[in-house]
Structure 1
Amino acid sequence: MSSRPRRTLIILLVAALLTAACRPEREIATSPPAAVRPNIVFVLVDDLSKNLVRYMPNVLALQRDGTTFTNYTVTDSLCCPSRASMLTGRYPHNTGIVKNHGSDGGFRLFHRRGQERSTFATDLQAAGYRTAFLGKYLNEYEPRKTVVAGKPYVPPGWDQWFAGGNDYANVNYTLNENGRLRWYGTRPQDYLTDVLSAKARKFITSTAAEGKPFLVEVSTYAPHRPYRPAPRDAASFPGLTAPRTAAFGRVPVNAPKWLARHSPLTSAQLRHIDYNFRRRVQSVQAVDRMIGDLRATLTKAGIAGRTLVVFSSDNGYHMGEYRLAPGKQTAFDLDVNVPLVAAGAGVKVGQVISAVVENVDLRPTFADLAGTTVPAHVDGRSIRPLLAGGIPALWRRAALIEHSDPATDPADPDYTRFTENIPPAYEALRTSSFTYVEYVDGGREYYDRRSDPHQMLNLVAKLAPGRLSELSAALHGLATCEGASTCWPAARAVS
């Protein structure tokens, strides 16, 4: 070989090495070999609305490092029905879990119906993953009272289990720790979010050392009412008030009758809302630190590049919008359109996706990543192609939202004696551009969210009869579907 070709070859090799060395580390970390099945860290919080994310720097970093879904919708803006949909990949009308408590919802019904035998935990455990659950499970689950064969109950699918009960205060609680009960008190180190964080980090470290793929779900009680922050955060954000959006203290034009009669918020209500919004911001600080600590643990263990981190909430929350006292269960975006952020293995960096995704998609996504399949009765579909940066040509056009009657059990943590603040039963369609609602009492709503993002103008009376018939038929099709073979076509039938 002459000296000139040799020099050229050397220059090309050096250039290639420099290019590889200068490539951003996070790009390398998010592109593992196709054969590698990623670990999954799923952080699920309780009642977190999108307006809290701006106060969570580690979640904002997760967004920059990964993918944010702007049209992620929950099947029901209520804890237990939404969580049942996540675990099973099925809509509430198929799980039968439409309440937090009683004969038509809650853990006891979920357990009696045998639905714990088919969840994303059982999928991944069968696929060889080591699995761990920490925190809030399903409403009515209580470590001291939920006993099977004389032992505190651990559901199938979970190798490690650290679950609480009605522990929204984050202090003075008991955890079922792998079948043994352990009580925690009121010391600063007993704050529940911090305890869950420490246990999750220990699980990650030990499982990484064994070289096994894993799934860990950390399910916090924050920022659910009573919005109790960690002691170190109790004085943070002094003077912070709830955001005064276009919907704050107002009802929509042509509002449904359950909402139209609401009086303006009083000064006492406003003070209460501002105080509790600040408490919610304070309470998510421990959650945010936990996310940063979990990611740091993954990096220290050398597995960040082959781990997917997912952050979301079971439902959203309103505070003064539409003249409503703090709560949820409506079809407004504040309650049903919640954060879904993913970063890490196989996820495109800095991506924002407007495609319609729903919480029934989590189970098939986790199974897809683990190299396994889900049963035919699962209603959702894997979003793995979206995480990687692709948008399938034939994707879902609408998400289904279902809501049963108001909670009437005072033991329900979401019970309210002011039932006028909770809508009657309804079914709704939510697309990337509009929301259509049908109430059990005959009322209807239609909001064009592109021109009216705060949903302040109900346009249903201006829709042509043919268009109303189309929407009603599409909603009925999705609200009665069962399994991917019928639910997917129904989700695409909306125009």
Structure 2
Amino acid sequence: MNLNLLVVVIFCSLIYSCIAVINFVDSQHNVILILTDDQDIELGSMNFMPKTTQIMKERGTEFTSGYVTTPICCPSRSTILTGLYVHNHHVHTNNQNCTGIEWRKVHEKKSIGVYMQEAGYRTAYLGKYLNEYDGSYIPPGWDEWHAIVKNSKFYNYTMNSNGERERFGSDYEKVRFRFWKNILILRFQDYFTDLVTNRSLKFIEKHIKTRAWQPFALIISYPAPHGPEDPAPQFAHMFENELSHRTGSWNFAPNPDKQWLLQRTGKMNDVHITFTDLLHRRRLQTLQSVDDGIARLFNLLRELNQLWNTFAIYTSDHGYHLGQFGLLKGKNMPYEFDIRVPFFMRGPGIPRNVSFKEMVTNVDIAPTMLNIAGVAKPARMNGRSLLELVSLKKKKKKHALQLKPWRDTILIERGKMPKLKKIRDRYMKQKKKFNKENRLSKECRRRKWQRDCVEGQLWKCYYTVEDRWRIYKCRDNWIDQCPCRKKRDQSEILNSENEEDEFLAYVDEEHFAEENQWYQGDVFNFDEDVESDFEPAEEHHRQKRGILSKCSCSKNVSHPIKLLERKMSKKHYLKYKKKLPNGSLKPKDCSLPQMNCFTHTASHWKTPPLWPDELGEFCFCQNCNNNTYWCLRTKNETHNFLYCEFVTEFISFYDFNTDPDQVKEAIIHGRSGRRQQLPS
């Protein structure tokens, strides 16, 4: 009797499991992830993609607090593919373990492609994969594979196309054509963005015609707006004089209250500013091909009657900066412009034309795709499905009561961080060192700033009745010594706080020069290397007194790194450069230990709009190894802040309620009452 009962129970369990599987498969939907490369949200790029905005925002949901947990290409993409934080998949940079041994042996075998394939999906990946992908293999989990070898390009690249290597040239006009519904369709083949779109459409069309019963999962990974930022020729005339990238923190420098690199980065000069403006224009131009491609994608889904059955997510691997805090270009920084990204979702049950302000991240993408496929999230994944947030927002009691409240804090990380201790002690030490009043007091106690405004002297410190040091600018000496300076009206004279900042910037540059420390940019606009009529001893004496012997009306037209390192005088540098043939100043001349620097020349961009030859070349360092950090980004009804600890033991806190552009570090400037909340 018991044996018969056991048989019945097992039989019923098997029947139930079969029914569950059938229902599970029937409930599956197609899912498309559209991923751009280096696309910002803070600099306004989405305002120039009207088709994508209409498709993804007006007919879907925008997550206005969309973030990446690590603002670097390969670590972020590895997180998207695995649903893991960087400290769990160990891809810390674009080099270290980016498609390395651990990645291929462990994490690549548990990527979203593998899980979706096991769930019965036909999977496809098209576009950029990971920065160090060499094209020698097809990663597990992908039925259709078309990935570029190495990093993003628009022309002259190699792809692994289903196991075969394909090489492409630089001819945008090279076309292939076919007829579809009696219409001649021309498709440009060499331009990578268009090729990714064309092959994505081909995959969908073929799949629906031959395997409509099976759901598909497609990742479309566009190269835009990543460098070399080559736009399609029909867009190369657009966005002239567009300056939306000039945010509140644009060219806000120097920044003595921020981490090491920003302490040593001054204002951009005219050449740098021209570069950021042109780069912004080219980035927007490259995104026009993405905008067109997304419109074509959804038109095809509509024609194939698949819109009702398809989820789509649109985002980027990280944000970008163009002149923010004086940094010409790049990512890697723990600031909103680098960590905040476009983030949209549409599909069955997703609200239309609404915005969610809750914090979502790239860690959530893999769990969301699995949720759409009806697969439970593996225990190893760190993120949460965005469908859970939709349920919470809809307040569906059947589901929402079983869900945890959504997060209000996320981890932002870059590199390997040791466990830091005695945070409160470090905070007090840091505040004492970087506080403006303390810095003024330290400098003004030096005799050279207490003398009267003698000929050539630029600054004078004086002690007020309130027992505070204040700065007086010797304006007549500035005008006399620099005839190119225009005398300002009283209404244009800087206020006391600005003069203090200007004085401290002058002092910082002086210290960097005296101690032979590296820095870049225009920390202060005068040239100490102009030859003087004075004898060396007298000139040295005048400099120690803070007296300007001569000024230069031109701005930093020579090689910025080598000059600022003080490794050679301007006179010697010009002789050195004169001996070299044109264009022979190689990138190796623009390198420093443990820093990421680049040289920009007229040969960098091959397509219009081009870099003017008359502006020459320049070098700039955009990142350094000690820019390693762990941060907490919190956003809720009452709090909106970023707290960071750097490997240098520097700590920072930014309160977005009072400082949305993060221009003033709140702890140092005494704008935060959170000292008591810091751990011991």
What is the match of residue 677 of structure 2? 467
359, 363, 366: which is aligned to 2:362?
359
Distance 1:448 1:34 in 2: 47
| C-alpha displacement of 1:350 | 1.1
Q: After superposition, where does 1:67-146 map in structure 2 within 5 Å?
A: 67-101=61-95, 104-143=96-135, 146=136
Render the CA deviation track for 1:110-167: whole Å, top value 9, x for unaligned: 5444211101111111000110000110111122xx2xxxxxx111110000001235
Distance 1:88 1:205 in 2: 28
375, 380, 386: which is aligned to 2:378?
375
1:204 aligns with 2:411: no
Distance 1:317 1:257 in 2: 19
Distance 1:450 1:232 in 2: 42
| C-alpha displacement of 1:375 | 2.1
Classify 1:112/1:201 alpha carbon distance in 2 versus 1 (closer, same or farther; 3 Å).
closer
Classify 1:299/1:272 alpha carbon distance in 2 versus 1 (closer, same or farther; 3 Å).
same
Larger Cα Rg: Structure 1 or Structure 2? Answer: 2
Render the CA deviation track for 1:435-464: whole Å, top value 9, x for unaligned: 111100011111111222111121124444
Distance 1:34 1:434 in 2: 43
Render the CA deviation track for 1:232-285: whole Å, top value 9, x for unaligned: 212222232353221111046832343123211100000000011000000110
Render the CA deviation track for 1:21-61: whole Å, top value 9, x for unaligned: xxxxxxxxxxxx99532211111010000121100012211
Distance 2:327 2:39 in 1: 17
**Whose RCO is larger (CA < 8 A, sep 6+)?**
1
Q: After superposition, where does 1:298-313 map in structure 2 within 5 Å?
A: 298-313=301-316
Distance 1:436 1:425 in 2: 14
SS in 1 for 2:394: coil
Classify 1:378/1:166 alpha carbon distance in 2 versus 1 (closer, same or farther; 3 Å).
same
SS in 2 for 1:386: helix
Distance 1:463 1:175 in 2: 54
Classify 1:419/1:196 alpha carbon distance in 2 versus 1 (closer, same or farther; 3 Å).
same
Classify 1:42/1:415 alpha carbon distance in 2 versus 1 (closer, same or farther; 3 Å).
farther
Which residue type is aligned with residue 107 of structure 2? Q
Which residue type is aligned with residue 428 of structure 1? C
Distance 1:310 1:109 in 2: 30
Give the conservation status (yes or no) of the 8 Å contact 2:316–2:342. yes
Which residue type is aligned with residue 409 of structure 2? A
Q: After superposition, where does 1:265-276 map in structure 2 within 5 Å?
A: 265-276=268-279
What is the match of residue 184 of structure 2? none
What is the match of residue 628 of structure 2? 425
Q: After superposition, where does 1:281-296 map in structure 2 within 5 Å?
A: 281-296=284-299
What is the match of residue 412 of structure 2? 401
Which residue type is aligned with residue 198 of structure 2? A
What is the match of residue 442 of structure 1? 649
Distance 2:404 2:413 in 1: 27
SS in 2 for 1:309: strand
What is the match of residue 174 of structure 1? 158
Give the conservation status (yes or no) of the 8 Å contact 1:361–1:380. yes
39, 43, 47: which is aligned to 2:38?
47
Which residue type is aligned with residue 416 of structure 1? C
Greater mean deviation of Cα atoms: 394-403 or 252-261: 252-261
Render the CA deviation track for 1:174-223: whole Å, top value 9, x for unaligned: 21111111222122121001001011011111222221101100111111
Distance 2:330 2:412 in 1: 17
| C-alpha displacement of 1:327 | 0.6
Classify 1:454/1:34 alpha carbon distance in 2 versus 1 (closer, same or farther; 3 Å).
farther
Give the conservation status (yes or no) of the 8 Å contact 1:242–1:273. no
Distance 1:257 1:125 in 2: 46
What is the match of residue 187 of structure 1? 171
Which residue type is aligned with residue 328 of structure 1? K
Q: After superposition, where does 1:328-347 map in structure 2 within 5 Å?
A: 328-347=331-350
Which residue type is aligned with residue 38 of structure 1? H
Which residue type is aligned with residue 114 of structure 1? V
What is the match of residue 490 of structure 2? none
Distance 1:184 1:262 in 2: 39
SS in 2 for 1:161: strand
What is the match of residue 53 of structure 2? 60
SS in 2 for 1:469: coil
Which residue type is aligned with residue 203 of structure 1? F
What is the match of residue 280 of structure 2? 277
Distance 1:35 1:360 in 2: 27
What is the match of residue 416 of structure 1? 597
Classify 1:34/1:386 alpha carbon distance in 2 versus 1 (closer, same or farther; 3 Å).
farther
SS in 1 for 2:287: helix
Classify 1:393/1:106 alpha carbon distance in 2 versus 1 (closer, same or farther; 3 Å).
closer
What is the match of residue 145 of structure 2? 161
Distance 2:338 2:310 in 1: 29
Give the conservation status (yes or no) of the 8 Å contact 2:33–2:313. yes
Distance 1:253 1:355 in 2: 33
Distance 1:325 1:250 in 2: 12
Percent of pairs identical after alignment?
33
Which residue type is aligned with residue 68 of structure 2? V
Render the CA deviation track for 1:66-124: whole Å, top value 9, x for unaligned: 111111111111000001111111111110100111xx331124544421110111111
Render the CA deviation track for 1:290-341: whole Å, top value 9, x for unaligned: 1111111110110101101111000110000111110110000000010110
Distance 2:347 2:644 in 1: 36
Give the conservation status (yes or no) of the 8 Å contact 1:67–1:387. no
**RMSD across aligned C-alpha pairs, in angstroms?**
2.3
Distance 1:390 1:330 in 2: 35
What is the match of residue 658 of structure 2? 451
Give the conservation status (yes or no) of the 8 Å contact 2:597–2:622. no
Matched residue pairs, number? 423
Distance 1:442 1:167 in 2: 33
Give the conservation status (yes or no) of the 8 Å contact 1:92–1:402. yes
Render the CA deviation track for 1:446-489: whole Å, top value 9, x for unaligned: 1111222111121124444431118xxxxxxxxxxxxxxxxxxx
Structure 1 gaps, min length 5: 1-32, 147-152, 471-495
215, 220, 223: which is aligned to 1:221?
223
SS in 1 for 2:308: helix
Give the conservation status (yes or no) of the 8 Å contact 1:331–1:401. yes
| C-alpha displacement of 1:346 | 2.4
SS in 1 for 2:330: coil
What is the match of residue 175 of structure 2? none
Distance 1:343 1:34 in 2: 21
